[in-house]
Amino acid sequence: MSEHINITDENFETEVLKSQIPVLLDFWASWCNPCKMIGPFIEQLAGEYSGRVKVGKINVDEAGEISSRHGIVSIPTLVVYKNGQIVNQAVGAIPKKDIEALFKDFID
């Protein structure tokens, strides 16, 4: 069962900027092999941290405005938001423990 939310230009403000809990955003594309490598980790973490961290996936081919605002030039790019602000980010295929470390310190 998928625990992530598909983030679009239309729901970005509500789901990310106004979120009461930290948000992990995964900027990805279906043709990106490194994105496919970390995809299962993202899904696992979404389930493990359900209710404490919101996990959003942003397809860069479909949400160009959001990707452009974030200056996304390489994918996968992971961005962590808390209280409407970017607090951490990483680029590339990284291990699950490193993805978890991006947001763990921001959980209340």
Q: Superfamily for 5-100?
A: Glutaredoxin (3.40.30.10)
pLDDT on residue 1 = 41
Catalytic residue flag (residue 52): no
pLDDT on residue 78 = 98
Measured CA distances, 23 to 4, 31, 75, 106 (Å)? 10, 24, 18, 10
% pLDDT > 70, the chain: 98
Catalytic residue flag (residue 15): no
CB–CB of 91/76 below 8 Å? yes
Q: Which of 16, 23, 24, 35 is catalytic?
A: 35
- Helix, strand or coil for residue 93? coil
Tokens of 88: 């951490």
What is the DSSP track for 34-89? Answer: HHHHHHHHHHHHHHHTTTTSEEEEEETTT-HHHHHHTT--SSSEEEEEETTEEEEE
Instruction: Kindly list the domain boundaries of the chain, sorted by start residue.
Output: 5-100
- What are 9-50's pLDDT values in tens digits? 899 999 999 999 999 999 999 999 999 999 999 999 999 999
pTM over the 0.85 mark: yes
